[in-house]
Chains A and B, each alone.
Chain A
Amino acid sequence: MAEENNVTGTDEVVETAEGAALPADALVVAEDVHKSFGRLEVLKGIDLQVKRGEVMCVIGPSGSGKSTFLRCINHLEKLTAGRLWVNGELMGYRQKRGRLYELRDSEIAAQRSDIGMVFQRFNLFPHLTVLGNVIEAPVQVKRVPRARATERARELLERVGLPDKAHAYPEQLSGGQQQRVAIARALAMEPSLMLFDEPTSALDPELVGEVLDVMRDLAQGGMTMVVVTHEMGFAREVGDSLVFMDDGAVVESGTPSDVLSDPRHERTRAFLSKVL
């Protein structure tokens, strides 16, 4: 990679269970992440770090691998090569005496429960009410008592501006409302990291703002976020760092204002000239 990663932070390191030395303030560490689907190489070695409390926006043309990278972070996609740590834990594997062991389904599930994810197409559970969607994972996975989970869900629905929709079904809501419920559903697990996979791309233009508002609040509350997006305004205003990906690699990264106003690479310039 030609660019130095912008998030070098302090020089303090912590030792992981596998003996790897990771920067102490990094929540996500990706090391030479490769992903192939059959012959097609989608990620060609991604090195990235996301600090605690950082909001990182990832931009790039479609097919550049940004969504795939996001899905690698919570192990929805298995890496073909490289390593990825979240919160000091190697995702999907255990390393013992130099060998990698695949984790069991339940162990991967436990790792994922600390990472919230919001999808482009919301993926709310259509057979459950809004409230049912939000309390499902806390009750089923974390064994939170139903009454407490419900109370917490109501707070979250209040926070995303939908206090009166608790008993509605997803199909009765607009796209923007569904996406805000999806955010509340992810937050209900009290994750330390939130992943957003083009959260506003499937929305009517006039509904984009309400979702971005919720995300902005979340960022101001100190949540660590990785946001794959085409919303340059959001990236500039809310993002702490901006990563431009193309063809499975990080082309350029830095502060949003640097990358957006003064791109150093021809490919970044070409992309930005089309979307700005």
Chain B
Amino acid sequence: MTSPSASADGPGSKEPTPRRSVEPITAVPVRYPERWVAAGVVLVLAAMFVNMLITNPAFNWPFMFEHMFSDPVLRGVWVTLSATVLSMIIGILLGVVLAVMRLSGNPILVSVSWLYTWFFRGVPRLVLAVLFGNIAILYSTIHIGLPFDNYWMPLLGFEGDARFFEIDVRTLLSGYAAGLLALSLSEGAYMAEIIRAGLQSVNKGQTEAAQALGMSRSRIMRRITLPQAMRVVIPPTGNETIAMLKDTALLAYVPVTIELFYQLQAIGTRTYQIFPMLVAACLWYLAITSVLMVGQYFIERRFSRSERGVRDRIVGGAH
């Protein structure tokens, strides 16, 4: 240990050094002429683009604005939004289950999860949408009952069947439900991989500490691992949500004709104003994506623990 007096009596430490008047540096800044050149080029290109928007009659702006907010289009926006939200919710839940299965160590669950991901990631969403639209060809009715009753009932000497009730697939899987199913199941496969990566990113010491406290494996997953995985999971999930918004256009192939892009295109072909309606589609998708990005920003802030304001709110809420 050094004696405290050694440093206190060191040279110059008693008196603060007298303050000299500080003269700010005045130097000629480095010039960047190339920035001005770039700005000029961009400006000219932008002017050309705006000029085209205004002068090219194919845009037909008044027509676009008139039809962009018509009732069928607004209904289409609603269908697109609801399909995005619902299929993402189902997809995330599926993804959590599949990821936990994949990491469970139970060989059967691991292979089921792997097989699921292999299938739904391997088949294009467009194909899935058409496939689920035509699922009624495979099953016209769904029977709820005991499996393989047509084999074992006669063997045991029973008459009839062991089916309790049946549902017509065409009513159960209307176009919208079939399309939603296709998108959700496909999303589940992608989310499973994202959530698996998140779970694996959590330090092993966290699990050990929780185990040492006597927490069971399922409780550790729920209370310790999953919440910490969220930080890693959220940004790619935002990506997935935006991708899903755009993929709802595939619903048209189920077919779900009330969907946004189908409606806009229908107006375009009917009126021969194809291009304005395509521009309207771009604008709608961009607008919704922007709203979703704002949502993602707030969710990310909620789950990042280094964020000061959020922390205060959580602490305040604990009282």
How long is the Cα–Cα vector from A140 to B218 in the complex, in angstroms?
A: 12
Which parts of B195-229 form the interface with A (CB within 8 Å)?
203, 205-206, 208-217, 219, 223-224, 227-228
Q: Which residues of A contact B219 (CB under 8 A)?
A: 140-141
**Given A167-B318, A171-B305, do A117 and B217 touch, yes or no (CB 8 Å)?**
no
How long is the Cα–Cα vector from A109 to B305 in the complex, in angstroms?
A: 29
Q: Which residues of B contact A87 (CB under 8 A)?
A: none
Query: Is B209 within 8 A of A125, CB to CB?
Result: yes
Query: Is A119 within 8 A of B213, CB to CB?
Result: no
Q: Which of B208, B306, B314, B315 contacts A123 (CB 8 A)?
A: B208
- Chain B CB within 8 A of A17 CB: no
Q: Which residues of B contact A117 (CB under 8 A)?
A: 209, 212
Give per-residue flags for B227-260: 1 if the beta carbon is below 8 A from chain A beta carbons, else 0: 1100000000000000000000000000000000
Q: Which of A124, A132, A137, A171 contacts B214 (CB 8 A)?
A: A137
Which parts of B79-117 form the interface with A (CB within 8 Å)?
none
With contacts defined as CB atoms under 8 Å apart, how many contacts are there between chain A and chain B in the complex?
77
Query: Is A76 within 8 A of B205, CB to CB?
Result: no
- Chain B CB within 8 A of A186 CB: yes
Interface SS majority for chain B: helix
Q: Which residues of A contact B211 (CB under 8 A)?
A: 76, 109, 112
**Given A76-B208, A119-B209, A169-B305, do A109 and B315 touch, yes or no (CB 8 Å)?**
no
**A interface residues, how many (CB within 8 angstroms):** 35
Q: Which residues of B contact A141 (CB under 8 A)?
A: 213-215, 219
- Chain A CB within 8 A of B75 CB: no
- Chain B CB within 8 A of A110 CB: yes
Give per-residue flags for A148-174: 1 if the beta carbon is below 8 A from chain B beta carbons, else 0: 000000000000000000010101000
Query: Is A126 within 8 A of B214, CB to CB?
Result: no
How long is the Cα–Cα vector from A169 to B318 in the complex, in angstroms?
A: 13
Smallest distance from the beta carbon of B55 to chain A beta carbons, Å?
Answer: 56
How long is the Cα–Cα vector from A76 to B314 in the complex, in angstroms?
A: 33
Q: Which residues of A contact B228 (CB under 8 A)?
A: 125-127
**Given A119-B209, A123-B209, A140-B223, do A109 and B214 touch, yes or no (CB 8 Å)?**
yes
Smallest distance from the beta carbon of A14 to chain B beta carbons, Å?
Answer: 24
Query: Is A121 within 8 A of B205, CB to CB?
Result: yes
A residues apposed to B, CB below 8 Å: 74, 76, 105-106, 109-117, 119, 121, 123-127, 129, 131-132, 136-137, 140-141, 167, 169, 171, 182, 185-186, 189, 195
Known pairs A112-B214, A169-B305 / 6 extra A-B pairs, C-beta < 8 Å? A109-B215, A113-B213, A114-B214, A117-B209, A125-B228, A136-B223
B residues apposed to A, CB below 8 Å: 203, 205-206, 208-217, 219, 223-224, 227-228, 305-306, 311, 314-315, 318
List the 10 closest A-B pairs by CB distance, nearest first: A113-B214, A123-B209, A117-B212, A137-B213, A123-B205, A167-B315, A112-B214, A109-B216, A141-B214, A109-B214
